[in-house]
Structure 1
């Protein structure tokens, strides 16, 4: 049976790097299950001191299979094992923009980019039409987007994305970053920052970005859109069209690094979610999914699952603790995914 090996990308985060092979294995299992890829016996292996993910494929890997493996958050290279030799398999992933879109921002409390990409992948694999992640039609929402890691990850994949966050400093920091980055890369774009008003009520500010990866794409109308709403995520009614989003992915407050930003973010994540989910759930299309990254120290998994069920979402079954890992002494991080079936 053919075997393919995935070379794992190095992680700049030392703590995350220690768990990266195990997390990548769990991600691959979720992806192959969601996309229906014919693959068995996924496991980490070490060859000549280098970590790989080994995948036994039922037949020779087709184009869709290569796209799925290439989309993994930690995939650095793919090889087909032929005896003692490794034959390179070309990566097939959507990457229309320079990689520094994701890596250049550095600030305290920034979520590891590989984890953000993993959360997006695992959530997208759970929706009714996961192929939308691969063909560029997936509509993404991060309702607590901070300084925009999710926004940049989605844009780097050629996806349209919307972010929401009340912190005006985060909004201005992201607006300044993305405008500067697009100018420096000489991309055809527009970036309009306006007041956000509905029915005569001031709701905050809005940044709307339209950008193309090349002049040819711009001329052909192949553009991506980023929308950032600087407003209260528990009050987005009328700001985002109902049933327009395929996936909602976000970091819930970890109760540590977010605590200094004020009462809004210092609240219990369960309290915040109980107020926010009635606003978020109607935005999901039927068959869409929500993926939450959370700190087990402040949000027990069963309590999160119960809350999601109460708001009409069905938690996706998976191996217990598959994505659980330590960030530091105060953060025991995990993720949970739930689908909107009706």
Structure 2
């Protein structure tokens, strides 16, 4: 039985290291590698945290590519307890099998107040797409962040080679995201075409960007407007107005939680209207004071969504910091 050593992604602080450790196994359990995993054993090698994956067979090409798209683990080695008469452990590096559409700097360089950690964003995006049927979880997808803030979800989506659409009510956040993307594309000499336009019929403005790299083309749409009007705001955008994945990190803090139910009650039907069969919704929230059962009830009452429960889906809660002692994720599918 082959054993793969997956290194927990190193982080710049203890709180982010705990985040990576908490989400590494659930992410692997939903990944394309999952059918091969017999057991997962945490261990420490040379002072670094790893997960040892006992596999029933070696991964195929698609499963190897998926490994290098994981967020909570970052390096992979074949693990040997011994080689011949020599006692180990020994590690044989695995060669990267995924070429990102954009370099990691696209996600890492963007800094702003309240930014969601890029590792966590990568994990939630992976959990969302791997919750689609296997045949619909790869290839070119369209990702919508209906509460985009400074655009971290969009940049992670672009790095993985997906279209990215964001809706944000604060115009300054949308404009600064557009400026950052433009400067990045110009600095990297990436061919692109941009234009801005007003949204017909409502108060809203859109920034459209088409990016060309070789034979591949991606669309980025940044929308300043009310997420409750998503169907109108996304009408007639390049690539179409429906999303394959809808991913959002809900507002944190006591002042936001008072209005969170109203936000979801008004927004979930609009998000369902820009979904298609098998579209997956992934929401994270501060669960310190808001139980998972309450969030599930709100989602089920607020639109045509089927919440996924059981197994990995019930193990996604994790600590963040001294203020957000517990953050959770809920994933739902549009029928």
TM-score normalised by L of structure 1: 0.87
- Measured against aligned partners, the alpha-carbon deviations of 1:61-95 in whole angstroms (never above 9, x if no partner) come to 21122122222103322111133321111122241
Question: Which position in structure 2 is the counterpart of 1:88?
Answer: 93
Query: How do residues 230-269 of structure 1 correspond to structure 2 at under 5 angstroms?
Result: 230-240=224-234, 244-255=242-253, 268-269=259-260
**Aligned pair in 2 of structure 1 residues 275, 244: CA closer, same or farther (>3 Å)?**
same
Counterpart of 1:43 in structure 2 is 41
1:70 pairs with 57, 68, 71, which one?
68
Distance 1:130 1:91, change over 3 A: farther
Q: Counterparts of 1:42 and 1:243 in 2: how far apart (Å)?
A: 40
Residue among 137, 142, 149 paired with 1:146: 149
CA contact (8 A) 2:313 2:331 kept: no
Deviations 1:243-292 (A, max 9, x none): 82111100111126xx5xxxxx6752222011100100122221121000
Corresponding position of 1:205: 205
Q: Is the 8 A contact 2:246 2:282 kept in 1?
A: yes
CA distance in 2, matches of 1:152, 1:335: 20
Distance (whole Å) between structure 2 residues aligned to residue 22 and residue 54 of structure 1? 15
Provide the secondary structure at the position in 1 that maps to 2:316.
coil
Q: Secondary structure at the match of 1:90?
A: coil
SS of aligned partner of 2:229? coil
For 2:221, which of 224, 227, 242 is the aligned residue?
Answer: 227
1:11 offset after TM fit, Å? 1.8
Structure 1 contact 73–115 (Cα < 8 Å) conserved: yes
Structure-2 separation of matches of 1:81 and 1:326: 30
Q: Which moved more, 1:111-120 or 1:37-46?
A: 37-46
In structure 1, the gaps of 5 or more residues are: 260-264
Mapped contact 1:165–1:231 kept (Cα < 8 A): yes
Match of 1:185 in 2: 188
Indicate whether 1:328 and 2:326 are aligned. Answer: no
CA shift for structure 1 position 48: 2.3
Residue 285 of structure 1 contacts residue 340 of structure 1 at CA under 8 Å; is this kept in 2?
A: yes
Q: Work out the CA distance in 2 between the residues paired with 1:155 and 1:320.
A: 25
CA contact (8 A) 2:308 2:332 kept: yes
Partner of 1:262: none
Which residue is 1:111 aligned to? Answer: 116
8 Å contact from structure 1 (residues 25, 44) kept in 2: no
- Return the alpha-carbon distance in structure 1 between the equivalents of residues 288 and 15 of structure 2: 18
Tell me whether 170-179 or 291-300 shows the greater mean CA deviation: 291-300
Q: Which runs of 5+ in 2 are unaligned?
A: 83-87
Distance 2:21 2:35 in 1: 20
Structure 2 residue 310 is the aligned partner of structure 1 residue 305: no
Q: CA offset at residue 170 of structure 1?
A: 0.5
RMSD: 2.1
Is contact 1:127-1:246 (8 Å) kept?
Answer: no
Hey, which bits of structure 1, 4+ residues long, moved more than 4 A? Answer: none
Q: TM-score scaled to structure 2, two decimals?
A: 0.89
